[in-house]
Amino acid sequence: MNKIAVFTSGGDAPGMNACVRAVVRTALYMGKEVVGIKRGYEGMIDGDFVSLDKRSVSGIIQQGGTFLQSARSKRFMTKEGRSLAAKHLKAEGIDGIVAIGGDGTFTGANVFTSEHEFAFVGLPGTIDNDLVGTDFTIGYDTAVNTAMAAIDNIKDTANAHNRIFFIEVMGKDAGFIALRSAIATGAEAVLVPEHTTNLDELVDQLVTNRTAKKSANIVIVAEGDDAGGAFDVSKYVQEKIPEADIRVTVLGHIQRGGRPTCMERVRASQMGIEAVKSLINGDTGVMIGLINQCVVKTPFSQAIKHHQKIKPALLEMVQILG
């Protein structure tokens, strides 16, 4: 293991830069060469490599996004694309690869390693926090704190005008951002993909709150909820409570950007160090995670087939506290 490559793939997430920095500096500390692959699997197919040294990753730990850039690659889904990627990796003399991404990234790595002899170690980089094998993914803590800050601001204006706000957060298949931000901001209700939504029950709750003269009602909606996004849900509620003053806010991609939190930077750095150690020790085809603050290695085949589940106790917290 003389030369290690690192890349970021899929949706960007705050903390990816901190993670790349840790991979680079750990590899250099252990006497290895490091190469960055630009634009994920797309860059691997194009041979878009850049040599990285200690200065290359200076001053990036506090930056969101990913300086290596990211992309979703349809070409890598073909055998021809993967063969071309393998050709470029061999020509560059790369022995091991650290892949920072989510489900799609690890699926690609799993197929690639079955066809070509390269050592892969994955790091969970996704704001959705939906991967099995780690308590928290890289990007989640920052995303949920960004959502919380925005919801706090919206709650001020909701109180001032006696409004019902439906706030849509990211989470196409997972409701972790919605759930924790709802608890943290004192939302009246939360709608997540993992739990079947009963809109009539929601309407009853909002009517009860209005009768009790509650000045502001905040409902957090994950974009992948079965009842639809925030606009669909608000339309239904408006029809049932026509006198209500209802507003909708979609937080969108502001949740992906921004400076990573302290915990994000520390967690990403720890995972990056462990990834390099694992490659040097001969591990491959595994995702590095942290469970109860202990390092855990989960095979790609398990990480991509199972998603972390919502804890019913957290859903109950919203109901009790809201």
φ, ψ of residue 259 in degrees (nearest 5): -70, 130
By the 8 A CB rule, do 81 and 45 touch? yes
CA distances from 131 to 33, 101, 146 (A): 30, 10, 21
Would residue 245 show up in a list of annotated catalytic residues for this protein?
A: no
**Catalytic residue, candidates 103, 128, 141, 225:** 128
The residue assigned the tokens 């939190």 is: 261
Tokens found for residue 135:
């308590």
Q: How far is 16 from 21, CA to CA, in rounded Å?
A: 9
> Secondary structure of 269-312 in the HEC alphabet?
HHHHHHHHHHHHCCCCCEEEEEECCEEEEEEHHHHCCCECCCCH
Whether residue 190 contacts residue 321, with contact meaning beta carbons closer than 8 Å, is answered with: no
**CB count, 10 Å around CB of 182?**
32
Backbone angles phi, psi at 118, to 5 degrees: -135, 140
Q: Catalogue the E-assigned strands of 170-268.
A: 189-191, 217-222, 246-250
Q: How many CA atoms lie within 13 A of 311 on its CB side?
A: 7
Active site amino acids: 128
